[in-house]
Amino acid sequence: MEPNSPVRFKLGKQSSLAPERRGEEVLGGEDDGFVIDIDPRVRLMYSANEGDIEGIKEILESGTDVNFRDIDERTALHVAACHGSSDVVQLLLDNGAEVDPKDRWGSTPLADAIHYKNHAVIKLLEKHGAKPPMAPMHVKTCREVPEYEIDAKELDFTNSIELSKGTFHIASWRGIQVAVKKFGEDVIADEDKVNAFRDELALLQKMRHPNVVQFLGAVTQSSPMMIVTEYLPKGDLREYLNRKGALKPTKALRFAMDIARGMNYLHEHKEAIIHRDLEPSNILLDDTGHLKVADFGVSKLLKVTKRVKEDKPLTYEDSYRRYVAPEVFRNEEYDTKVDVFSFALILQEMIEGYPPFHAKEENDVPKLYAAKERPPFKAPAKFYAHGLKELIEECWNDKPTERPSFKQIIPRLEFIYKKFDHNKRWKVIRPLNCFQHLEAMWKKDSSGLSSRNRSSRSTRHI
């Protein structure tokens, strides 16, 4: 067998795990884009790089090893996977190419295809039995495996249903139904998304509150990575409002208190947590009719400073624009008060029955908020009695410092709720009391009349 080349093949896209190099020698030399070398192994790598089907066939027919490896342990299949050449990949596999060879950095053809987002090649390699690369959080010893780790084999997705958010699915786990948030193959190759996954896990582990969705565990040692939470079959607040429309003030206030209590827990945490994506589809209903705050994919943990600023403006994909505070889209520093702004819009929507600025295009809504415009109050004034309208207006104040905290909001909601509830009961009881009063008067009059009649009869008898 011919000895391995002491030189490195370097044309086009390189290993997904290789460190960046500069000024390195190309295998076989290079002159105006052409490799000058008669070594058939070199020609195989080059032909895979160029997608030259006929050239590869000719080289393989001459007896060249399809699994030849260069000095970096890379094969022609690695090269073809990087470039997304599915025809070349199929040809190499048909001629006996190993499906999961690892280069010197541990990258496989499938890992390279995932890194370069070559989806056709990904499906082809998986069809031939390629194993998905290890998750970015993979640890070397069992002692390092997190306590919350769930074996992916325990999650049964048979008859799985996709929930309202595309990445969430229902699965069975240890005899119960759970909600599973799957992270696609693109996460492995995207450092920002890996960090976002780590951040979300760090947040979920800290949360224990009846108005916050319960974290059950995660899959971090294999791909795809997943986050597993309790499943709430009643659905989310968005679906509920779509069905019910405007809610009665007492119902809206009970829901508002649930949201406020969950958010107060997050904000009053030792390391305050900003949800930053508080909107109806991220609020779930449990079996008892109470609400739980969920989905912390774009949340922020305030560790040292009390305010944060994004490296880049928040994008449409990150959040639902109708509920985001103007300071976030202006790319200014912000704090927990962004969630208070979102809360005000949700509370008003529950009473009005429509999303904020529902007649406007979603992309235009942030501009309205920035211009200090707010959704109009159209519901009857009695629905906003006892200071409810004033509370909403304070919560969506353009100045974050003027907005109340959830710690201040909760007692105000409780006071308003008691007023509404008292009036509701009084309206039910008052007619009953009037009836009882009239009945008592009638009985009294009847009793008096009977007594006078008896007295009259007695007098006549005498």
Amino acid at residue number 268? E
Model confidence pLDDT, tens digit, residues 268-319: 988 888 988 899 999 999 999 999 999 876 566 554 346 666 655 555 444 4
Mean pLDDT of 234-244: 94
Domain end among 204, 230, 256: 230
In a domain, 324, yes or no: yes
Give which of 388, 295, 367, 379 is closest to 324, Cα–Cα.
Answer: 367
For the chain, the domain total comes to: 3
| Distance (Å, whole) CA 165 – CA 176 | 20
If asked whether residues 216 and 299 sit together in one domain, one would say no
If asked whether residues 385 and 303 sit together in one domain, one would say yes
Query: Which residues are part of the catalytic machinery?
Result: 277
Domain end among 89, 105, 130: 130
- Domain with residue 165: its CATH number is 3.30.200.20
Question: Which tokens go with 366?
Answer: 């942030």
Model confidence pLDDT, tens digit, residues 316-347: 444 478 999 999 888 888 999 999 999 999 99
Instruction: Write down the pLDDT at residue 143.
Output: 75
Mean pLDDT of 414-440: 66
Domain end among 197, 230, 263: 230
| Distance (Å, whole) CA 166 – CA 266 | 25
128, 424, 427, 459 from 437: Cα distances, Å: 86, 21, 16, 33
The residue to which tokens 């009665």 are assigned: 248
Report the percent of the chain where pLDDT is more than 70. Answer: 74
- Domain with residue 24: its CATH number is 1.25.40.20
Instruction: Write down the pLDDT at residue 2.
Output: 47
Contact in structure between 186 and 117 (CB atoms under 8 Å): yes
| Distance (Å, whole) CA 134 – CA 102 | 12
If asked whether residues 268 and 323 sit together in one domain, one would say yes
More confident residue, 6 or 399: 399
If asked whether residues 303 and 170 sit together in one domain, one would say no
If asked whether residues 212 and 266 sit together in one domain, one would say no
Model confidence pLDDT, tens digit, residues 169-205: 889 999 999 999 887 665 665 667 777 788 778 878 8
Instruction: Write down the pLDDT at residue 318.
Output: 42
In a domain, 460, yes or no: no
| Distance (Å, whole) CA 296 – CA 179 | 14
Model confidence pLDDT, tens digit, residues 104-143: 877 899 888 887 889 899 889 989 988 877 666 666 667 7
Model confidence pLDDT, tens digit, residues 138-173: 666 677 777 889 988 899 988 777 765 556 788 999
In a domain, 274, yes or no: yes
If asked whether residues 195 and 251 sit together in one domain, one would say no
- When mean pLDDT is compared across 75-79, 248-252, 307-311, the lowest value belongs to 307-311
Domain range enclosing 321: 237-417
Q: Give the 3-state secondary structure percentages of the chain, helix then strand then coil, rounded to 5.
A: 45, 10, 45
